[in-house]
Amino acid sequence: MKTVYLPRCRQSYREILALQQEEFRKRIESRKNGSELPEDIIFFVEHRPVYTLGRHGKPSHLLLPEDMLLKRGIEFVETDRGGDITYHGPGQLTVYPIIDMLRHSLGVKDYVNLLEEAVIRTIADFGIHGERIEGRTGVWIGKDTPEERKISAIGVRCSRHVTMHGLALNVGSDISLFGGIVPCGLSQGVTSISKETGREVMIEEAKERLEKHLTDLLL
């Protein structure tokens, strides 16, 4: 399995989406042709500010008008992943595994659970207790309390047992741009590793731990 950490300079969502689509296409063509699929690859990225809308999302969950997005330098991109609307940007680690689920004997639900488990183990390394919530994707803190809040969003696409898109883990303390949307179509709050720990955690520190847990679970 190959892991790629794109440079610390923040990446355009559209450019990384095109990169994902190319790797995804190669694997789909291999499966159609009955040939061996390329090795799995996982991209770790920090994006420039962008709101992305999943294929079943509601445009009304974007709360900012277009002129405000332009003024703030925020992109808006409609995607083919699952889920509703979310935010990617500085201080957030976004992870795109492009894997052959057959190679790992995974179904879609198993795969989403695996991504959630990788996040749960990662934030546990920082002393944070994360949980799943039945009927939702992602990882939550303070489950079933008035302070319930989300620390990681997950939205994937699977075709012919090949995956793309993935997960976003909030790391840095500045999560103010989540205020421009109804995150994942839900009204609960959003949090980050830095906010929960009370110290500024660097992307690289979270990436090192998440990469270990994710690759361990996929081996």
198-214, pLDDT tens digit by residue?
Answer: 999 999 999 999 999 99
Is the confidence at residue 30, as pLDDT, over 80?
A: yes
> CA 80, 59, 66 angle in degrees (round to 5)?
110
The residues assigned a catalytic role are: 184
Q: Which residues contact 58 (CB under 8 A, 6 or more apart)?
A: 84, 85, 185
Mean pLDDT of the chain: 92
Return the CA Rg of the chain: 17
Per-residue pLDDT band at 84 (split at 50, 70, 90): confident
- SS3 of 61, please? helix
Q: What is the DSSP letter of 54?
A: -
Q: Quick check: 193 and 152 in contact, CB under 8 A? A: no
Structure-token match 């940007």, residue found: 89
| Model pLDDT for residues 34-79, shown as the tens digit of each residue | 999 999 999 999 999 999 998 888 888 988 888 888 888 899 999 9
Partners of 64 in the beta sheet? none
Q: What is the DSSP letter of 182?
A: -
Structure-token match 């390394």, residue found: 125
pTM to 2 decimals? Answer: 0.93
Is the confidence at residue 184, as pLDDT, over 70?
A: no
